[in-house]
Amino acid sequence: MKLTIHLLRDSRVDLDGIILPKYLEGDGYVEVRPTAKLPFACRAWLRQNKAKRPGWLEWLATSFDIEQKDLVNQSNSCILGLEVAGRQFAVTFGYGFSVIDRALVEPDFGLKVTLSIVDPTALDMVDTRTLERVTKQTRIHLSVGRPVEEFGIEPDLDWLRAVRGTASCEQITGKVQGSDAVRISWNGSLESVGGCCQRLLEIYQSQDYRRYFGFVDHLRRLPKDDPLVAVLEDEVRGLLKRHDRERLTVAHPEIPSPDIETFKIWSGNTRVEDVDELDLDAVFSFLDRYEQMNGEQADPHKSWVIALDGRGEARSQKTALWKYLTAHVEHDDHIYVLSLGQWFRTDKDYLDTLRRKVAAIHDISADLNCHPWPKGMSERNYNALLATSQDWLLLDRSMFTFGGARSKIECADLLTPNGDFLHVKCSTSSANLSHLFAQGTVSARLFRTDPEYRAKVAQAFHEKYGEQLNEDSVRVVYAIGTERDGPIAEILFFFSMVNLVQHRELLEAMRLPVAVCRIKRQGALQSPGVEPLVLSRGDKTTVAPEAVGS
């Protein structure tokens, strides 16, 4: 029997409230009574779903004779709540996991249990989530178990969310998988499940995972009752109100299902029509309209998001908007990162080391003396302005082909007479700094390794300047537009510094020097708007103003 087991928080005093109340209403979950006495306190809830016709049936039936076919979808689910050794557990079957109150679940219980009992050389699945502005969620499956080192986890950036491997515990064998819950194969009877839960609790409390996987504690999660959490949350509310795009972004709590077609956002009676993409533009538009209609700022904890398929059926849990936000906050010389509704504090020594590495990168702002970036000017127009004012070769949006015309790449934004490849980005652009750094690395790698590509760049240089490009003088320059004053090491945020240092190391390994340049940006930039959101409250329907930003 496959069991998915959740440990509930110490704050639980009984088994009431495991299931969110709305799922106990109507044709939802109903409690079922035991037919035999069990050796532990236990309650169970069952839901027998009504059969539903697939949403695609009516559309397909317009051209195929299937309308009369008896096609239905249905599923059944169950939640078993039990108390063992003074703690409460929820064992879920089917879609039961989606209706339990997540606020009651002990985070990382399953992850730490799994890492404590798994063979460290026999992992076959790892889920990670980078704690940065551009959040990357990765799930890696291997056909055979391998050590964790072979999954390419970056301890300073990656939050290890789930892992699966072969257990090497005396009582538990076979495959085991853990995140907040642990999933194991259990051959015993229902009466023995209490003993299973007690053993898992002992493993969790032993902290044996630190023997091989101590790095999971490197990015320290703040306890939810830490007084600092309230301070940090106030900072995030300020970022939302100011539409800050440098320290705030949207990331899905789980890897989105391919069945998802739209998202719904609402708070109380204020809601939006379904949106195709849940991004910052959608969030800002919703929050702005909420404030206009209600006279106060919406609480992200009480604003909700749900993913829907083509039938309008839920394909995710009703999840607080707060859990979709990723934020970067500096407080008392520490960097705090909000991800999946939880706060992480980065190691101060690592942060100091990182800033020293960035400060060591040659800053050529004074040498290049770039024209200030006018308020409201797009990146494309600014690059054209810079090319004209400095008489530099403009390469922005000029695609160089290589590999027999099979591939194309933008070499750089500008190329100076000295052989500086300038890659230009505004620090608040949606074409974010991580993309900027990656662009420089990819272009430089091709310049070093692909003769065809190198020849085409040299030809463009010769046509502009009438001279041969000295390959030994080539340098990669990251030119960053920002309103903030000071050296680059002081104006970049944490994850931008991490990316910059990583790409500098890659480039220098290719014998290509790296420099940075700060461009003074004169006020906030605006970028093309997006489709307006339609919001409604009661019987009134309004259209949100066009969202701006990139």
pLDDT at 135: 57
Cα distance between residue 545 and residue 308, in whole Å: 25
Asked if the model's pLDDT at residue 146 lies above 70, the reply is no
Our CA angle for 502, 508, 512, nearest 5°, is 125
Show the tokens assigned to 223.
């306890």
> Residue 48 has what pLDDT?
77
Per-residue pLDDT of 328-386, as tens digits, reads 888 887 888 888 788 888 767 777 888 899 999 999 999 999 999 988 788 889 999 99
The stretch 399-406 carries a mean pLDDT of 57
Reported as a pLDDT band with limits 50, 70 and 90, residue 149 is low
Each residue of 35-94: pLDDT tens digit?
A: 888 889 888 888 877 666 776 777 777 777 776 566 776 678 888 889 998 899 999 988
Task: Please say if the pLDDT value at position 524 is more than 50.
Answer: no
Q: Output phi, psi for 24, to 5 deg.
A: -100, 0
Highest mean pLDDT among 99-103, 192-196, 493-497, 545-549: 192-196
Predicted confidence at residue 99, as pLDDT, reads 83
| pLDDT confidence of residue 147 | 64
Residue 531 pLDDT level (bands cut at 50, 70, 90):
very low
- Residue range 276-296, pLDDT digits in tens: 888 888 899 899 989 988 999
Distant-in-sequence contacts of 401-408, Cβ < 8 A, 24+ apart: 401/456, 402/446, 402/450, 402/452, 402/453, 402/456, 403/450, 403/452
More confident residue, 190 or 549: 190
Q: What is the mean pLDDT of residues 407-412?
A: 74
Phi (first) and psi of residue 101, to 5 degrees: -70, 110
pLDDT band at residue 415 under the 50/70/90 scheme: very high
pLDDT score for 530: 35
Q: What is the pLDDT of residue 224?
A: 74
CA dihedral 517, 519, 524, 525 (to 10 degrees): -80
Q: Which residue would you say has higher pLDDT here, 314 or 526?
A: 314
Cα gap 171→137, rounded to integer Å: 33
Cα-based angle 125, 131, 132 (whole degrees, multiple of 5): 130
Asked if residue 383 lies in contact with residue 423, where contact means CB atoms within 8 angstroms, the answer is no
Q: What percent of the chain has pLDDT over 70?
A: 81
Among 11-25, 283-297, 534-548, top mean pLDDT goes to 283-297
Residue 546 has a pLDDT of 30
Mean pLDDT along residues 432-456: 84
**pLDDT of 150-204, one tens digit each?**
666 665 566 777 889 888 776 677 889 998 899 998 888 888 889 999 999 999 9
Are 371 and 246 within 8 A, CB to CB? no
What confidence score (pLDDT) does residue 237 get?
Answer: 95
Give the model's confidence band at 422: pLDDT under 50 very low, under 70 low, under 90 confident, else very high: very high
Contact (Cβ atoms closer than 8 angstroms) between residue 537 and residue 499: no
> Which pLDDT does position 262 carry in this prediction?
87
User: For the residues of 437-483, what is the DSSP string, one character each?
Assistant: HHHHHHHHHHHHH-HHHHHHHHHHHHHHHSS---GGG-EEEEEEEES
pLDDT at 3 over 80: yes
pLDDT at 125: 86
pLDDT in tens, 225-266: 678 999 999 999 999 999 987 788 887 877 667 778 888 899
- Check whether 144 has a pLDDT greater than 70: no
Q: Mean pLDDT score of the chain, rounded to an integer? A: 80
* Residues written for the chain: 550
pLDDT given at position 151: 65
Question: How many other β-carbons are positioned within 10 Å of the β-carbon of residue 57?
Answer: 16
